Chain A
Amino acid sequence: MATDNQNATGFGEVSRVRGIVFEYLSLGASVAGLVALGVLLVYVAIDAFDLANASPEWLLTYFLTLVVPFLAFCLYSADDAAVTRRVVGVLAGGLVAVAGVFTAIETFVVTIPRLSWQLAYLFVVAAPVTAYLAYVGSHGRVGAVGFGLLGRLVGGIAVGLAVGTLFLVFDELVWFLAYTLGVLPAAALYAYGRWRAAARAVTAAAPIGLLGLVAAAVLRGVVRTYPSDLVIYLWTLAIPVAAVGALVVAARGSRTAAVAAGGGPLALATAGGFLAGSVGLPGPTTLIVLAVTGVPTAVYVHRVVDVGEGTVGLGLPLLLAAGVIVGALVVEAWGVPAPDPWLDASYVTEAPSRNAAEAGLYPAIVGSVIIIALVAVLSFVLGVGTSVFLEEYTAGSGLVGSLTRLLQINIANLAAIPSVVYGLLGLGLFANLLGLGYGTAVTAALTLSLLILPITIISAQEAIRSVPDDLRRGSDAMGATRWQTTKNVVLPEALPGILTGTILALGRAIGETAPLIMIGAATTVFSAPGSLFSRFSAMPMQIYAWAGFPQAEFRYGVVAAGVITLLIILIGMNGTAILLRNRAERGS
């Protein structure tokens, strides 16, 4: 390029054409990719929620009762006149622009299928503005409080449902024994040791706990009578959660508040658990959900009130709930046509069906959740273990060093092997050789763990490697053993990075179908798996099966609802993991 053409300024000019071209090409490529994905997701959402049949009146009602109050809340929290002006401007200007462009395209170019200008406005203007405002608002005190509370409510419900789901396949009686004989004594001993600064009690906690677990496994075959499920969950989950909540509040001061924050939700959860049966809800799950939602919420509310900043934010959940209710009442009274979403309560609680209107994803959701939970635990433990070994324990030279390098190269290669091949491995190794069964949840979980293990290991190694050597040397020089240095300094520092890698890898695992097909997983099962060894299906398998159905309702509505469910669960899972990671980052 013309790097040396002189001009009047006297210094000449340096051409930047290539850089600029490159910049805009890459920008264009990424924008094009994102827009394509966005359009796809918009259509999927429209199908899943049947928004194509939503009347403009229906949209307007909910816009006014739900979206506008939420925006107002965020603006109030941000408390910035410039932002307010900008948002109002964009909302109003966007309305005119979208309506104009949309009508122009429809009249002069093509008709846009299944989309009205109101919907386009919703997705193109209202949704991004809402997201932006939520971001801005969350930085204000009020917004932070509101989102914090909302997060605890939603997170609590999600965690509660996940725990309830896991107990569909895990034996709660074993858990009852293990908790009573192992976990509880160990935790008590540990707490006592910390409280009284008795190092011996702290070190004894782990062996005692292990002993209890072994005893539980043995006694499970001997003991015949057990309390009811509800009592087991109350004793092993709800009470400890409430106790931890009460302790957290007590640490901040008031004893009465502590009792209220722990006892209130506990009483509510117990009542809910016992009464749930009468309205057709499963008692134990209700109990767990209420407990893990109620206690953190109570603890959080106490803290906010205690600090006394942004208390108004606590009203956010009420505001949203009121918006939904008022919206529903208005729509009802007005009698405008409302959409009939595919993705509704029955979709996520019922089994698949030949009839599109009755089809549900419940067994596949349960299957996916169970598999992912197992994969998360397995790949985290194995991945961290292997990477710690490779990074911290092997010598750089000699025979061991060469072996390590060989292992290292192989791990990198394993990450590049197609997932179908892993399916074959799972089929041969776990299903055939170890006899864990074709298409069972354990086989699937082990296979998927193997599949993502290389990614987990490599990212964990990366994270461990990025811990400054200074810190290791500092710990070593204090007379720490290799293990103490790893446990106390390296792992806490590397944890956020390790979690990031695991999150990405899990995202891949939850969407995999090829290895599941190879190990003989069913595309459709009609009841949720009852044990780790029962046949199961996973969400992507079920979605794939539906996509091949001849009826259009399946190919559009039901599949779309499945995709959205899968995405919501994925985002929920990642969100939880990211929150944990951020907490780990802040904690260190």
Chain B
Amino acid sequence: MSNTSSDTTGDESLITTDVETGSTDRSTAVGETAVAARDLDVFYGDEQAIDDVSIEIPEKRVTALIGPSGCGKSTFLRCINRMNDMIDVCRVEGDVEFGGKNVYDDDVDPVALRRKIGMVFQKPNPFPKSIRDNVAYGLKIQGFDGDVDARVEESLKGAALWDEVKDQLDSSGLDLSGGQQQRLCIARAIAPDPEVILMDEPTSALDPVAASKIEDLIDGLAEEYTVIIVTHNMQQAARISDRTAVFLTGGRLVEYDDTAKIFEDPEEQRVEDYITGKFG
């Protein structure tokens, strides 16, 4: 963690730990929009999971999505890389823009889209292949022509895993510990050099030490990538994100602002209640 400035902390912080909010190495001024949703509704059959969400997510920042279970955070994340297409009953209305284009347009190939957007899941899911093959997977399926080994090394370094595995690149990815596996999945996601990385509760299956390693890592990732992370853990959102979106039950986006603002002085009473643990 590199929270060098402490000007955003204050006694008025709503969460009970004394963590500093926002990794404010990066300027808080919001840059270009990487991903945007406009009037997004998502239904599973008749049940509505996302209700009229509009949001603009800045590039090269960490944006956290928080909210109680079942409020549609994962659903929203899956709309961005169209992983919802795999769910038969799922129906999406409205626009999700990435790179200035609506990803739900007819001429968008979801497979090609996903090659520009990496994803890391809640449960580490390395392939039952060697560490090298895991990281090189995206390169392989995209027919990468360059130096694969160099890319593998670079990605593993980017995921802060290189030093731990550089002598065992040919052993199975499943032999690693849970935290290492998750970092391997991060290396796998960044190897093809995507623009956005989606993370769905990447640390909730890990012990605190492994989780904090991943938090440190996310901070660095935002130098190159747009990171959108779903988390259950309020302290985590406060520590690592620049922007925070609060979803509440019914799939509504209730408040979306700089992380410091959300955690210190939210506009909405419901958000304050949620953050201080009155419900959720």
Contacts and interface: CB of A to CB of B under 8 A. Distances in A.
B187 to A, nearest CB: 12
A396 B140 CA distance: 30
A493 B116 CA distance: 26
Contacts of B141: 475, 478-481, 484, 488
Contact of A397 (B88, B118, B192): B88
Contacts of B113: 479
B125 A488 contact: no
A493 B81 CA distance: 25
A477 B118 contact: yes
A478 B185 contact: no
17 contacts: A199-B143, A199-B144, A471-B125, A471-B127, A471-B128, A474-B121, A474-B125, A475-B141, A476-B86, A476-B114, A477-B121, A478-B115, A478-B188, A479-B112, A479-B192, A480-B111, A492-B128
Interface residues of B, number: 34
Interface in B197-225: none
Interface magnitude class on chain A: 20 to 34
B86 A588 contact: no
B5 to A, nearest CB: 35
B178 interface: no
Nearest to B145: A199
A204 interface: no
Nearest to A482: B111
Contacts of B126: 474
Contacts of A203: 143
B104 interface: no
B147 interface: yes
Contacts of A476: 83, 86, 114
The 7 A-B pairs at the shortest CB distance, nearest first, are namely: A479-B115, A479-B114, A477-B119, A470-B125, A474-B125, A478-B138, A588-B128
A3 B144 CA distance: 69
Interface string B80-92: 0101001011000
Contacts of B115: 478-479
A489 interface: yes
Contacts of A396: 88
B142 interface: yes
A499 B185 CA distance: 29
Interface string B99-126: 0000000000001111110110101011
A479 B111 contact: yes
Interface in A159-217: 197-199, 203
A395 B112 contact: no
Contacts of B145: 197-199
A508 interface: no
B254 interface: no
A583 interface: no
Contacts of B192: 478-479
B129 interface: yes
